[in-house]
Amino acid sequence: MATRQIKLRIVLTLGGLLALAEVQATGPTTQLAPQSAPQPVLGATVQTVSATIGIDDGSPASVARTIDQLVEAIAREQGVTPGPLANDARFLRRASLDLCGVIPRVSDTLDYAADQDLEKRARAVRKFVRSPRYATHLATTWADLLIPADRGDFAQRLNAVGLENWLRDRFARNVRYDNVVYDLLVATDAGQLGPASYFSAHELMPERLAANSSRLLLGVSLDCAQCHDHPFTDWKQTDFWGYAAFFARVRADNAMMRPGGATRIIDSDRGEVRLPGDDAGEPIPPRPLGGEVVEDSSYESRREQLALWMAERDNPYLARAAVNAVWRKMLGRGLVEEIRADGAHHPATHARLLDEIADAFVAAGFDLRWLHETIALTDAYARQSTSESDSAPAKAFVAMPPRRLSAEQLYDSLSRLARPAITEDPFSPNPAREAFVQRMRSGGEDPLAYTGSTLQALVMLNGSTVQATAEPAESGLTAALEAPYLSDRERIELVFMATLGRPPLEKEDHIFSEHLRAVGDDPAHRAAALSDFLWALANSTEMAFNH
């Protein structure tokens, strides 16, 4: 195994630019030295970090351990046995997709599998959350939620890009989450295109800003209460409009608009909301959820008053909603569906766990990087996947449900195969990526719901993105595969490792080898066969999901 690993590396080194990125990614070249003994690389189970640390000192590893104790206790109460942990390759692919938005490089997969250190999982996760891709991926994820971009509208896409850039800068610097939210809500500066984009994407309408911000930032679905008292919860129509009143005085300063310039968001000293159909009625005064009416102040705008309330250390919603959202993104479903101020969340099964993690998140200084790292270090996150995403083990977080890759994750993963890695630049606008993402976007916010279409399947089967991934002329990987000293068996293994992060199963090996043999020695035919491999793998269900 060790020998083969070196050989694969040499091949990649021959890939020129690709090699440079590989070496950078894996650190000093001394790491390339062969390990002393053959190791059971792939298929080994992930070492549980929790076994090695005994006290809860607020570090990601110790909080992860506490989380696992609670998760397992709840599972036992429900009569559910925790499933086994996923193997190394699966874990690394999962964490890389969730934290960096892209599949790992072959070299990272091999390194990780070969690493004997008990701390390797913690080290890999730490590296992921500190990579530039972490900030990019997180910004994409949040911008998607804050701005409904699937309306296909050009202006809306521009808004999303503006907000994404603004968020990425903050996530890269790991700005405290409460500060990010505060800045988003109160910003007026024309230079801060991000927040302006958020307000203009919702057309500066109090009800839209209220519905979106309460759902995403506070974890509360108030939307229904817009038109009538909420049928399933205690929220009244006056709760919604009291909250919406905080946005009633937001205005765009059109005097600041100029070609290429950003809209400036300002606060008027006038503007009220009233109940729908009651234009002549009393204005609804601003009132935070579950709180008292706030008097208008000459020092603070209504937005500032709302942002101050949200960012209070003991605000019952903000931290919990953030924890719940990150948990949902990484484990498929939230710990709870609805956040309640008094901790009696719905459903109640994992309510206490949510509160514990939220407290630790607040104690850690609203540190999003810490939060991602902590969740990634739990055993709950590292369990083997189950296709039964509605089963009791999946609901108890002791088996991982499969989640479809987002359009961005899929594009970035395919382009990691297609081109030399060093040209991957998520910062520069890429029309091909944009076109792919528009066609392949998922609907809705539920990570477990599969909402693909036949037309999306056609994009994968015949579209230019997969074609570019698979064609030898464009593909860095197929170029590497043609290196003369690899056996066909090794070529097949490499192409599986690069795409799915695992070697082929026996039957796969057999069918793929047979195909390569059948095309004979003609170099063009062999190149075509290798591109057929990449096409089939790129189109596989295993590739399309994080599992």
Partner 1 sequence: MQRPHSISRRDWLRHSGLGLVGASLSGWFPRLAQAAAATGLAPRRQAILLWMAGGPSQLDTFDMKPDHANGGLLKEAATNVPGLRFSEHLPKLAQQADRLGVIRSIVSKEGDHARATQLARTGHAPGGEIDYPSIACSLAGELPAPRDGLPPHIAIASPAFAAGGFGPGFLGPRRTPAAVEARQAASEGYASLQVENLDLPGGVDAQRFAHRERLWQTLQSEFLHDQTTGALASHDGLHREAIKLMQGSAREAFNLDAESAVVRDAYGRGRFGQGCLLARRLIERGVPFVEVTLGGQDLGWDTHADGFRQVQRLSEELDNGWGTLMQELASRGLLETTTILCIGEFGRTPRINDAGGRDHFPDAWSCVLGGGGVAGGQAYGSTSEDGMTVVDGKVSVAEVLATFAAALGIDPATENVAGGDRPIKISEAEPIAELLA
Residues binding partner 1 (CB under 8 A): 148, 150-154, 203, 205, 207-208, 211-212, 215, 221, 223-224, 226, 231-232, 387-389, 402-404, 441-445, 448-464, 467, 471, 505, 507-508, 511-512, 515, 528-529, 532-533, 535-537, 539-542, 544-545
Please report how close the Cβ of residue 361 comes to partner 1 at its closest, in angstroms. Answer: 25
Please report how close the Cβ of residue 227 comes to partner 1 at its closest, in angstroms. Answer: 9
Tell me the Ramachandran region of residue 133: left when phi exceeds 0, alpha when psi lies from -120 to 50, beta otherwise: alpha
> Is the separation of the CB atoms in 256 and 190 below 8 Å?
yes
Please report how close the Cβ of residue 85 comes to partner 1 at its closest, in angstroms. Answer: 20
> Is the separation of the CB atoms in 41 and 124 below 8 Å?
no
Query: Which is closer to partner 1, CB of 223 or CB of 272?
Result: 223
**How far is the C-alpha of 144 from the C-alpha of 157, rounded, in Å?**
10
Query: Which is closer to partner 1, CB of 344 or CB of 457?
Result: 457
Query: Which is closer to partner 1, CB of 38 or CB of 276?
Result: 276
Please report how close the Cβ of residue 508 comes to partner 1 at its closest, in angstroms. Answer: 6
**How far is the C-alpha of 459 from the C-alpha of 539, rounded, in Å?**
10
| Token digits of residue 144 | 């998607």
Query: Which is closer to partner 1, CB of 271 or CB of 452?
Result: 452
> Is the separation of the CB atoms in 523 and 479 below 8 Å?
no
Query: Phi and psi of 42, rounded to 5°?
Result: -85, 145
Query: Which is closer to partner 1, CB of 358 or CB of 537?
Result: 537
Please report how close the Cβ of residue 202 comes to partner 1 at its closest, in angstroms. Answer: 8
Spatial CA neighbour of 380 closest among 75, 100, 17: 75
Please report how close the Cβ of residue 504 comes to partner 1 at its closest, in angstroms. Answer: 9
Spatial CA neighbour of 124 closest among 148, 143, 100, 159: 100
Please report how close the Cβ of residue 346 comes to partner 1 at its closest, in angstroms. Answer: 11
Please report how close the Cβ of residue 545 comes to partner 1 at its closest, in angstroms. Answer: 6
Please report how close the Cβ of residue 486 comes to partner 1 at its closest, in angstroms. Answer: 19
> Using alpha carbons only, what angle is made at residue 355 by residues 351 and 361, rounded to the nearest 5 degrees?
145
Query: Which is closer to partner 1, CB of 10 or CB of 448?
Result: 448
Sign of the Cα pseudo-torsion (73, 74, 79, 83, in order): negative
Query: Which is closer to partner 1, CB of 471 or CB of 490?
Result: 471
Query: Which is closer to partner 1, CB of 31 or CB of 464?
Result: 464
Please report how close the Cβ of residue 446 comes to partner 1 at its closest, in angstroms. Answer: 9
Query: Which is closer to partner 1, CB of 338 or CB of 359?
Result: 338
> Is the separation of the CB atoms in 547 and 94 below 8 Å?
yes
DSSP class per residue in 471-525: -TTT-HHHHHHT-TTS-HHHHHHHHHHHHHSSPPPHHHHHHHHHHHHHT-S-HHH
How many C-alpha atoms does 224 have within 13 Å on its Cβ side?
10
Please report how close the Cβ of residue 547 comes to partner 1 at its closest, in angstroms. Answer: 8
**How far is the C-alpha of 376 from the C-alpha of 130, rounded, in Å?**
13
Query: Which is closer to partner 1, CB of 52 or CB of 453?
Result: 453
| Token digits of residue 211 | 């519905």
Please report how close the Cβ of residue 337 comes to partner 1 at its closest, in angstroms. Answer: 10
| Token digits of residue 369 | 């990087």
Query: Which is closer to partner 1, CB of 312 or CB of 390?
Result: 390
Contacts of 168 (CB under 8 A, 6+ apart): 135, 136, 138, 139
Number of H helices, E strands in the chain: 27, 4
Element (H, E) at 545: strand 545-546
Spatial CA neighbour of 400 closest among 79, 97, 62: 97
Element (H, E) at 41: none
Query: Which is closer to partner 1, CB of 238 or CB of 513?
Result: 513
